[in-house]
Amino acid sequence: MSMETGDQQPPIEVRDLHKSFGAQTVLDGIGLEVRRGETLAVLGRSGTGKSVLLKLLIGLQAPDRGTIAIEGHDITASSLEELNEVRKKIGFLFQQAALYDSLNVEENVVFPMGRHSSMPVEKQRLRARQLLASVGMRQDLNKLPSEISGGMQKRVGLARALALDPEILLFDEPTAGLDPITAAEIADLIVGLKKQHRLTAIVVTHDIRGARTFADRIVLLNLGKIVAEGSFAELRKSKDKFVSQFLREGS
Amino acid sequence: MSLPLVALAGAATGVVLSLETRDGMVRFGAKSLLPAIIVFSIIKESGPVITGLVVSGRAGAGIGAELGSMKVTEQIDAMEASAVDPYRYLAVTRVLACTLMLPLLTVAANFCGIFMGWVANTLWDPISLRLFLDSGFKEVAFSDYIPPILKTAVFGLIIGVVACFQGMRTKGGTEGVGRTATSSVVLASLFVILADVVLVRLILFIWPLS
């Protein structure tokens, strides 16, 4: 199903999204729009469905109700072929990087290109090395994911997410589990990529400091609903008890 | 990795068959039938089933645990997110490999079983390998040899499908991977045994006993 496209069309448009697992309601009527070139940070406590939201956006899970339009295509009503065409426009950075553990660093980045690009193998490898260099990975390209640190795995995951030159990037906790210096480096990297590629991005995170660095807009989730939305400065002015407590404790 | 295990299991079967059957055959005065009994028993049933069960344990657990850990570490989600069908990329190749390799492994198990059957036999009662094979294979027809080997392609298909299916639906971290490895082996072995019964009946229907 295709709707009107163009520059006015928001790349990501979510309406009335519901998702439950058994009796537990995880998302309860979420609606949001992300404008082209904008980075939206989704904050919230653990278990509030932030990661589920990202998985719904890329079709790894199906919503119980609601629509998700990516570049004007409603992925909730798409066939697998149509969904895969949409997925090629989206890069996804997983919480634990989810690198293929039988492939080395370079092969991990080449993998999506090998499956979808008509580029000759040598050019794919060259592009993979360029992408890895752009995220600060110039060495250890022949190492397996288990032989590199968590921060390096995130960098490789980021390079892999960029492999198909996506228009949209989804980040699931990009700075979680990293030391503060590496976390700040990853946050700076996101800012750099955003400027360089004019990417539209959704970043799910607990890291309020990181969100301040890279996000143009923040939404705060609680109990499956959006409880606040706006810039960091706007959210700080909020009188809502949960919002002010969340920002105070996290800063 | 399955080959040494299958070869050893086949060899042990050959030795045991030779030792256990010899006594009975001597008592009934049918010692000269011993080579034929060993050959028939191995190529028609022991070789295929032992190979099926050994590979269920070896490859079933391996494939189940490998895909299971890919599932719990989100590598399979990452593949889907890159618009790559994990069933086509990961499962089809493994199922095909199992289906094609089982008949070859069965041939290896049969060879080791018959050879070691002769070795065990000749330790008691020296007989040349040529004479053992001549008398063992004298009555063997096409329908004795080929269908049981082809039957193992179905065992391979079962092992591959069960292990991939169990692996892809793994949940619950490392504990879940352990559960998948166990259930892959148990279910694959069970289905191999059940399929054996059905396939033997089918083979007898297509190639009736003379």
Confidence band for A177, pLDDT divided at 50, 70 and 90: confident
pLDDT of residue A241: 83
pLDDT of residue A250: 66
Q: Which of A88, A100, A101 comes nearest B83 by C-beta?
A: A88
Assembly ipTM = 0.88
d(CA B205, CA B102): 23
Tell whether the model's pLDDT for residue A4 goes beyond 70: no
Q: Please state the rounded mean pLDDT for residues A77-87.
A: 92
Instruction: Return the half-sphere exposure (C-beta side, CA atoms, 13 A cut-off) of residue B16.
Output: 10
Where along chain A do its domains lie? Answer: 104-165
Q: Please state the rounded mean pLDDT for residues A180-205.
A: 86
> In percent, how much of chain A has pLDDT > 90?
50
Q: Closest approach of chain B CAs to the CA of A116, in angstroms?
A: 9
Answer yes or no: are the C-beta atoms of B34 and B134 closer than 8 Å. no
> Could A87 and B77 be called an inter-chain contact, meaning their C-beta atoms sit closer than 8 Å?
no
Neighbouring residues of B205: CB distance < 8 A, sequence distance ≥ 6: none
B74 touches chain A (CB under 8 A): yes
Instruction: Return the half-sphere exposure (C-beta side, CA atoms, 13 A cut-off) of residue A104.
Output: 10
Tell whether the model's pLDDT for residue A44 goes beyond 70: yes
Q: What is the pTM of this model?
A: 0.86
For tokens 């999506």, the residue is A112
Give me the residues paired with residue A172 across strands: A204
CA A175 from centre of chain:
12
Residue A162 — left, alpha, or beta (φ > 0 → left; ψ -120 to 50 → alpha)? alpha
Q: What is the pLDDT along chain B (210 residues), one digit of tens a residue?
A: 689 999 999 999 999 998 888 888 888 888 888 889 899 999 989 999 999 999 999 999 999 999 999 999 999 999 999 999 999 999 999 999 999 999 999 999 999 999 999 999 888 888 899 998 988 888 888 778 888 999 999 999 999 999 999 999 999 899 999 999 999 999 999 999 999 999 988 888 887 776
> Could A101 and B75 be called an inter-chain contact, meaning their C-beta atoms sit closer than 8 Å?
yes
Q: Which of A84, A98, A115 comes nearest B78 by C-beta?
A: A98
Q: What is the 3-state secondary structure (H, E, C) of B30-94?
A: CHHHHHHHHHHHHHHHHHHHHHHHHHHHHHHHHHHHHHHHHHHCCHHHHHHHCCCCHHHHHHHHH
pLDDT of residue A123: 94
d(CA B28, CA A175): 79
pLDDT tens per residue, range B132-159: 898 888 888 877 888 899 999 999 999 9
Confidence band for A1, pLDDT divided at 50, 70 and 90: very low
> Could B78 and A90 be called an inter-chain contact, meaning their C-beta atoms sit closer than 8 Å?
no
Please name which of B19, B4, B117 lies closest in space to residue B54, comparing C-alpha atoms: B4
Q: Which of A87, A101, A160 comes nearest B83 by C-beta?
A: A87
Tell whether the model's pLDDT for residue A46 goes beyond 90: no
